[in-house]
Every structure is written in structure tokens, then in C-alpha cells.
Amino acid sequence: MVQRALPPETDREEERAERTRLDQLDRKIRELRPRRQSLIQELLRLSDEQRVMFEQRAPQQAKLEELNSAHRSAGRDLGRLRKELDDARRARDDRLGLVRELRASLPKSARSPADALRREVKKLELEQQTRAVPLEEENALIDRMREIRKELSVADAESAEVAKKTEALRQAEAAFEAARGEVDRLRKALDEGRSARDQAMETLKGELQSVGQQMAQVRAKGQERGRVRQELDDVDRTLRGLEREFDTLRRQHRARRGDARRVVVEHNRAARRAVHDPSALDRAVDDRLEQLLKEGKVRLS
């Protein structure tokens, strides 16, 4: 019968090393699991804060789009006003040229020669009626009156032309004044439009700065979240490695204990048989004594 032997010293040292390593791994795993859970909670908190920041950014983005649209609309209005102002200036200049042309065509004297000719005709007619003159002088007087009437006819025609040009000049001056008023109105509207556009630009800049600050906060939160995520990945990787090593050592330890248990069971079964067989019991005692002598644990004097 094969007698049970104590495990070699190397096996016992390996078993003690396994137990020590298992205890170390168990402590590390117990330390890392709360750390991992804490990192998971921190990651969830950062994710929630980042989501809230994005949700708060939506109305601000809509306001930014509205301000940008208003600024672009103001720019388009300014372009339209500039074109209208250029057209109004050209119309004003054209009307000013017409006014100058009409003024140049009018006589410099404001008095019409027809008035003087009518006074002279009346004077000659009065003289003809009130004075007795020789025939030759009377004929000369009549000839003079005829010449004056011809000149008067020409002067009346010229006066009508002058009156027509004067009316045209009055209308041209009125049109020029209206055109100049339109230019002034458009210039004022353009200045107001520039002021409104500049104000919209300042408001847009302020909103852009606010959005930029918010995006910087979102990026900072994302960087913090990435740092926590990286730390969580490192902890997970370390924990998985420790758990794999722990499971491997535990399986080896259980296998070693199982082998030892089977040896003990087999030995007990053999010992029970030896109790009923004195010769087998003697052999078992001799074998155990020989083993103890080899290991130096006993000595015969």
C-alpha cells in the first residue's frame, strides 16, 4: 500500500506564496472597485453637466442666428439706400444743370422792353392828338409809331418766350429742391442705417463673446470628462488584469487543494483497511518512519 507523504517544502512554499499573492490581489481589487465606481459617478456627472451646457446653448444659438440675420438685413438695407442715394444725387445734379441752363437763357434785365415801347407809343399818340404839327412832322410821327408797334410786337413775343422760360425755370427749381430734399432724406436714412448696423454689430460681437466663453466652458468640461474617462479606462484595465490573475491563481490553488484532498481521502481509505490488516499497518508505519528519517525529522540513536 502506498503511504501518504507530507507535501514537499517547495510545494508548501508555493502554496504560501499563492495565498500571499491572492491576499494582495484581493486587497488591490477591493481598493480599485470603489475607485472605479467613483470614477463612473464622476463621469456621469460630467456628462450631465455637458448635456445641460449644450441644452443651454440652443436658445443662445437661436438668438445669435437672429442677431446675425438682423445685421445682414441691415447691410442689405444700407446697400439699397446707397443705390437710391446715388440715383437721387444724379437726379439732383441733372435738375441743377437744367436750372443753370434756364437761368442762362433768360435776359439779365428783369424789366421787359415792351413796357418802355408801350409808354413811348402812348406818348406819341398823345402828342399827335394834342399838338398841331406840320404834315411832314406828322408823317414822321406816324412812321415812328409804326416802327415802335413792330418792335412792340417783337418784344411781346420775346416777353411770352421769357415768361415761358421763367415758368420752366420755376418748375425746374422746384424739382431741384425736391431732389435735394430727397438726397438729404436718403443721406439721413443712410446715417441712421449705419448707426443701426454698427449697433447690431456690437450686440452681435457681445453675443459671440458670450457664446465663445460658453463653448470654452463646454470644451473644458469635455477635456475634464476625457481625463476622467482615461483614468477610468486605466483603472478598468488594471482591475481586469488583477481579476484575471486572481482567478488564475485561485483556480491553481483550488486544484492544488483538490489534489491534496484526494490524497488525504485515499490515505484515510488505506488506513482504514490497514486497521483490519496488522501486516499492512506495520508496513504503513515502516514506510512513514522511513520517510521521516529521509526528511531528517527523526533520528534513531
Residue 115: per-residue pLDDT: 66
Q: Is the distance from CB of 19 to CB of 246 less than 8 angstroms?
A: no
What's the number of domains the chain is made of?
A: 1
C-alpha 106/C-alpha 163 separation (Å) is 9
Which long-range contacts link 123-126 to residues 24+ away (Cβ below 8 Å)? 124/148
Query: Is the residue at 230 inside a domain?
Result: yes
Query: Is the residue at 254 inside a domain?
Result: yes
Torsion of CA 56, 59, 64, 66, to 10 degrees: 180
Residue 2: per-residue pLDDT: 40
Query: Is the residue at 150 inside a domain?
Result: yes
C-alpha 82/C-alpha 183 separation (Å) is 11
Query: Is the residue at 207 inside a domain?
Result: yes
Whether the predicted pLDDT of 72 surpasses 60 = yes
C-alpha 183/C-alpha 15 separation (Å) is 104
The tens digit of pLDDT for each residue in 140-186 reads: 777 777 787 777 777 767 777 777 888 888 898 999 999 999 999 99
Query: Is the residue at 202 inside a domain?
Result: yes
Query: Is the residue at 300 inside a domain?
Result: no
| Range(s) of the domain holding residue 53 | 9-295
DSSP letter, residue 111? S
Name every residue whose Cβ is closer than 8 Å to that of residue 281 and which is 6 or more positions away in sequence. 274, 275
The tens digit of pLDDT for each residue in 197-248 reads: 888 888 888 888 888 888 888 888 889 989 999 999 999 999 999 899 888 8
The tens digit of pLDDT for each residue in 252-296 reads: 878 777 766 676 666 666 666 655 656 665 666 666 666 656 655
Dig out the grid coordinates for 70 from the structure.
Answer: 438682423
User: For all residues of the chain together, what is the average pLDDT?
Assistant: 79
Question: CA 117 → CA 3, 125, 142, 179, distances in Å?
Answer: 171, 12, 15, 41
Query: Is the residue at 1 inside a domain?
Result: no
C-alpha 172/C-alpha 95 separation (Å) is 6
Residue with cell 410786337: 153
Query: Is the residue at 4 inside a domain?
Result: no
Name every residue whose Cβ is closer than 8 Å to that of residue 188 and which is 6 or more positions away in sequence. none
